[in-house]
Amino acid sequence: MRELEVRLKNSSYRIIVENYLMDKLSFYINDVYKNKRVFILTDDVVAKYYLDKAIKSLSDKYVVDYVIIPHGENSKVLERYAYVCEELLKKDIRRNELLIALGGGVIGDLCGFVAATLYRGIPYVGIPTSLLSQMDSSIGGKTGIDFYNRKNILGAFKQPSMVLIDPNTLKTLDNREFNNGMGELIKHGAIGNKKLLDMLKDKPQIDEDIIVESLFVKKSVVEIDEFDLKERMLLNFGHTFGHAIELKYGYKHGEAVAIGMLMAIKMGEDLNVTPKECYDVIFNILKLYELPTDEYNYKDYLKDVFYDKKNIAGTINFIFLNKLGNAIIYKMTEEEVKRLEGKNNSN
């Protein structure tokens, strides 16, 4: 068993990482929740694998009820949010009773948003079952749904009471979904943990230790900037270009981040911010975990990125590596971006 604590100004919570933790949920949850009833939110696919197990492992201490929704990104919408609230209210959930998010990122984001808004806030515990959600969305309290064609546009910061990660759940992921999570895990090594990058070079099994090394980066950034005002931006390494290609070419999120990291490294090299050694190290680790490393010229995407992301002052923040295991925020004006667009380079 390994554990981390996320220490924030107004709250702190534990992240427990333990194989077979799914069999001892009540043992851990009892630490943060003493009432009788708990309500699990999950999807139809995760339910098949883990719902009975979760109910069994909670039933010695709690009366367990649940709501199941269809799996997939289409569930992060207003209608589904309304449905979940309605079902919970039909079950007469009270404001001091616990919600449990059992599933991947969609379930975590939706469940967190319900927890943030129902009765103006009820407690919730995250049990992320995909590597992507274990690495990223389950930590840090960003919750929300998509609306008006915009991702996560309705949302709230709502920290969980606890996050419980059972690495065994990764065994039920298919290869591509597993590697999708590896994109974020490798990103954490790149921006904040050189030791993690060194560990990954031998393609180890993703165990408790590796997961904790990766989560340490996310938790450290969230602790400095809970509300995403500055440093949390560092977590967006690879995302600026990643978002530009994700939907266009049908990549999964972690795959797009993989390519986006390589594009950002090339751009950082051209600006003399990123040392040459970074590209090969990250490229080789991505290859080991079968993530795409297709070459896209970052210059072809600068225009989209700039107009999509620029702030009122007409500048955009890029995230670059200034060495392996460390990232910086680098502000650029429209003129600087245009100058770079026009410059010949090796990319």
**Chain contacts with ligand GLY (rule: CB under 6 A):** 136, 140, 142, 228, 232, 235
- Could you tell me if 87 and 25 are in contact, meaning their C-beta atoms sit under 8 angstroms apart? no
Least CB distance to ligand GLY at residue 302 (A): 22
- Could you tell me if 49 and 22 are in contact, meaning their C-beta atoms sit under 8 angstroms apart? no
CA 57 to CA 20: how far, in whole Å? 11
- Could you tell me if 271 and 340 are in contact, meaning their C-beta atoms sit under 8 angstroms apart? yes
Query: Letter for the amino acid at 244?
Result: A
Work out whether strand 124-128 and strand 162-165 pair parallel, antiparallel, or are unpaired: parallel
C-alpha triplet 265, 175, 178: angle, nearest 5°: 60
Least CB distance to ligand GLY at residue 259 (A): 17
Least CB distance to ligand GLY at residue 212 (A): 18
Least CB distance to ligand GLY at residue 252 (A): 15
Minimum CB distance to ligand GLY smaller for 97 or for 184: 184
Least CB distance to ligand GLY at residue 136 (A): 5
CA 250 to CA 39: how far, in whole Å? 35
Which residues touch 108 (CB under 8 Å, ≥6 apart)? 101, 126, 128, 133, 137, 138, 143
Minimum CB distance to ligand GLY smaller for 228 or for 300: 228
- Could you tell me if 143 and 155 are in contact, meaning their C-beta atoms sit under 8 angstroms apart? yes
Least CB distance to ligand GLY at residue 251 (A): 17
Least CB distance to ligand GLY at residue 46 (A): 21
- Could you tell me if 165 and 16 are in contact, meaning their C-beta atoms sit under 8 angstroms apart? yes
Question: For ligand GLY, which residue has the nearest CB?
Answer: 235
Q: Dump the DSSP string for 93-116.
A: --TTSEEEEEESHHHHHHHHHHHH
* C-alpha pair distances (Å), 338 with each of 287, 304, 334: 32, 12, 6
CA 147 to CA 153: how far, in whole Å? 6
Q: Dump the DSSP string for 260-323.
A: HHHHHHHHHHHTT-S-THHHHHHHHHHHHTT-------GGGGHHHHHHHH--TTSEEEEEEEEE
Minimum CB distance to ligand GLY smaller for 109 or for 213: 109
Least CB distance to ligand GLY at residue 295 (A): 25
Which residues touch 259 (CB under 8 Å, ≥6 apart)? 238, 241, 242, 245, 251, 292, 293, 294, 296
Minimum CB distance to ligand GLY smaller for 36 or for 151: 151
Minimum CB distance to ligand GLY smaller for 145 or for 235: 235
Least CB distance to ligand GLY at residue 236 (A): 7
